[in-house]
């Protein structure tokens, strides 16, 4: 266990301006029909030869590639962990200093050696055997702190692993690190424990939140797999901002046990990776009925333990795709990338039709979300706080009091995270779960949203609704740019799944993701569609600021 040294956690971290060391070619549209099918990337098309095709950088390799390297004896789990630790040293602690990692598991190498020995004797437990995974710091681990990025929980060591972490360990995965995040899973992309997180594609840009550390870490290849959490877009925002793949699962597909709550009506952990294959492989390991989370009962007879079986390069051939036009018109280049993505889908055989959400739902969805989110955090955080030591606050009111005590000890009464800590006060004053407004939203508003979205899909026999995951490019760390009206919280209000796949890059080399929104428990179909789109376009690129290190190639 190791906390990276932070310079003065009592003040807000300032970003150093530095030379990026990247020569950016003049932007252009790549309209190469046979390769990118009109997809706008603004990036050079890579050229490979027979020799380079036999080798992959660690960032290019899927779990399938890594297991092949394990089987051939070319790579060990211990060696893979060492590769990732070297990248963390080079790019998180040094170089661009992404500030994505809070804690390293000091038992990771020992665990890797034990798993290598087990593989030699009895074979792998699962495709995740010996694979390093990094977790958002609001997911409980019994061997590393869980602080949700907050000084209010500094040093908290949970009594046991979260349910999904137990499942990962049972499958042979190695929990390598805990990652920085928006404090308590809300607010700006910084925490009072770790400070600001930087986007590996451009350190002046935000990696988005609240799973910003996971998004940045996976894009920069600090681990093979990552897990974030999503209450209002917190897996999907960082997924698109960092140019990776990710999933907000159907509500109830994964257990919420051992995760610091924000609003249990919406909270859901989600897998994040550089490849759709890896997202699918990780999801299947984590599913299952948890007696400590009643919501997982909804997934009985509906969850799978192997989602990679649904990956199909021809899945778009018979698909009907709806495009949510309501969320365009906010960034011209994002719109271009979506239109090019739709052309790619058509070229693969999909039928694409326009869909529009009722204007009143678009106008109301933000208020509906806040009405539930704030009240549930106030009511539900005490149950989690009761599981940790007596030295920590036990209610939201006590958290507010403690934050004021900390502020009183700082110069001029400043707070380490003023945006998030002021939000604590608003949440405390928001009301209770027996408020008429909350009851109306919970009992009538959410079912209405579910009916509307399902009705839109049924009316046109859609397999998925697609839209740009973020309608604008990532915001600046100082808050400039970004924003816009996003569709992401529709998936939270309904509980429907949303798969994000890289779609391209803007002229300033910022990634844009494409969302595939589906019906409840339609993850198998979404994986087929997303994988087909990914394989047809192949637009994901490694961040220029975190290139491969010498000697980290993996033989294909």
Please give the chain's pLDDT, 556 residues, in tens: 433 333 332 222 222 223 323 222 222 233 233 333 334 444 444 444 444 557 899 999 999 999 999 999 999 999 999 999 999 999 999 999 999 999 999 999 999 999 999 999 999 999 999 999 999 999 999 999 999 999 999 999 999 999 999 999 999 999 999 999 999 999 999 999 999 999 999 999 999 999 999 999 999 999 999 999 999 999 999 999 999 999 999 999 999 999 999 999 999 999 999 999 999 999 999 999 999 999 999 999 999 999 999 999 999 999 999 999 999 999 999 999 999 999 999 999 999 999 999 999 999 999 999 999 999 999 999 999 999 999 999 999 999 999 999 887 776 656 789 999 999 999 999 999 999 999 999 999 999 999 999 999 999 999 999 999 999 999 998 776 656 567 899 999 999 999 999 999 999 999 999 999 999 999 999 999 999 999 999 999 999 999 999 989 888 7
Rounded distance between C-alpha atoms, residue 501 and residue 465, angstroms = 13
165-171: Cβ within 8 A, 24+ apart:
165/135, 165/139, 165/140, 165/141, 165/258, 167/285, 167/286, 167/287, 167/288, 168/128, 168/133, 168/282, 168/285, 168/286, 170/125, 171/125, 171/126, 171/128, 171/129, 171/285
CA distances 116 to 76, 174, 233, Å, are 7, 12, 37
> From the candidates 77, 234, 470, 475, which is the catalytic residue?
234
CA angle 67, 215, 487 (to 5 degrees): 120
365 given a catalytic annotation: no
Q: Which CATH superfamily is domain 30-541 in?
A: Amidase signature (AS) domain (3.90.1300.10)
Contact call for residues 124 and 106 (beta carbons, < 8 A):
no
Contact call for residues 302 and 275 (beta carbons, < 8 A):
no
234 given a catalytic annotation: yes
pLDDT of residue 4: 33
Half-sphere exposure of 399 (CA within 13 A, CB side): 27
pLDDT of residue 15: 28
210 given a catalytic annotation: yes
> From the candidates 210, 255, 403, 515, which is the catalytic residue?
210
pLDDT of residue 333: 98
Residues 133-151 as b/e (b if ≥16 CB within 10 A, e otherwise) read bbbbbbbbbbbbbbbbbbb
pLDDT of residue 46: 46
> From the candidates 59, 126, 136, 156, which is the catalytic residue?
136
pTM equals 0.91
Interacting residues of 432 by C-beta distance below 8 A, sequence separation 6+: 375, 378, 379, 438
pLDDT of residue 485: 60
Q: Give the other-Cβ count within 10 Å of 34's Cβ.
A: 6
């Amino acid at each position: 266990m190791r906390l990276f040294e932070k310079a003065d956690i009592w003040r807000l971290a300032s970003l150093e301006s530095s030379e990026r060391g990247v020569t950016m070619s003049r932007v252009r549209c790549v309209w190469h029909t046979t390769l990118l099918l009109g997809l706008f990337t603004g990036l050079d098309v890579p050229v490979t030869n027979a020799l380079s095709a036999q080798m992959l950088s660690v960032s290019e390799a899927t779990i399938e590639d890594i297991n092949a390297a394990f089987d051939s004896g070319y790579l060990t789990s211990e060696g893979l962990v060492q590769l990732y630790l070297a990248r963390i040293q080079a790019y998180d602690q040094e170089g661009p200093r992404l500030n994505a990692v809070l804690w390293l598991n000091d038992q990771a190498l020992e665990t890797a050696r034990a798993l290598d020995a087990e593989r030699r004797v009895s074979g792998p437990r699962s495709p995740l055997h010996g694979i390093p995974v990094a977790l958002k710091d609001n997911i409980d681990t019994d061997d590393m702190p869980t602080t949700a990025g907050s000084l209010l929980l500094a040093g908290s060591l949970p009594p046991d692993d979260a349910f999904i972490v137990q499942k990962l360990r049972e499958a042979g995965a190695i929990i390598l690190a805990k990652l920085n995040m928006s404090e308590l899973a809300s607010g700006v992309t910084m925490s009072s424990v770790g400070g600001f997180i930087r986007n590996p594609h451009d350190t002046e840009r935000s990696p988005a939140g609240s799973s910003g550390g996971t998004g940045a870490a996976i894009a920069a290849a600090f681990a093979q797999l990552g897990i974030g959490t999503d209450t209002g877009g917190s897996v999907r925002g960082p997924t698109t901002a960092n140019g990776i793949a990710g999933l907000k699962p159907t509500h109830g597909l994964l257990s919420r046990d051992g995760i610091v709550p924000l609003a249990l009506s919406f909270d859901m952990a989600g897998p994040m990776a550089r490849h759709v294959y890896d997202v699918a492989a990780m999801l299947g390991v984590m599913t299952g009925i948890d007696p400590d989370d009643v919501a997982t009962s909804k997934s009985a007879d509906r969850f799978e333990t192997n989602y990679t079986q649904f990956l199909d390069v021809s899945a778009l051939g018979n698909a009907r795709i709806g495009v949510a036009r309501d969320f365009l018109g906010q960034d011209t280049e994002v719109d271009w990338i979506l239109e090019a993505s739709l052309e790619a889908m058509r070229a693969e055989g999909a039928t694409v039709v326009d869909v529009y959400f009722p204007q009143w739902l678009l106008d109301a969805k933000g208020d509906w979300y806040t009405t539930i989110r704030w009240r549930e955090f106030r009511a539900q955080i005490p149950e989690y706080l009761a599981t940790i030591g007596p030295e920590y606050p036990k209610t939201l009111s006590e958290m507010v009091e403690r934050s004021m005590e900390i502020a009183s000890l700082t110069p001029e009464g400043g707070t380490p995270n003023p945006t998030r800590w002021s939000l604590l006060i608003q949440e405390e004053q928001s009301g209770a779960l027996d408020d008429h407004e909350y009851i109306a939203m919970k009992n009538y508003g959410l079912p209405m949203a579910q009916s509307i979205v399902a009705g839109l899909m049924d009316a046109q026999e859609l397999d998925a609704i697609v839209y740009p995951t973020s309608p604008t490019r990532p915001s600046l760390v100082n808050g400039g740019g970004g924003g816009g009206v996003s569709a992401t919280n529709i998936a939270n209000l309904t509980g429907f799944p949303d798969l994000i796949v890289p779609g391209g890059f803007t002229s300033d080399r910022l990634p844009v993701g494409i969302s595939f929104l589906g019906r409840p428990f339609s993850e198998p179909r979404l994986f087929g569609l997303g994988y087909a789109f990914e394989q047809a376009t192949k637009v994901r690129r490694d961040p220029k600021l975190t290139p491969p290190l010498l000697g980290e190639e993996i033989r294909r």
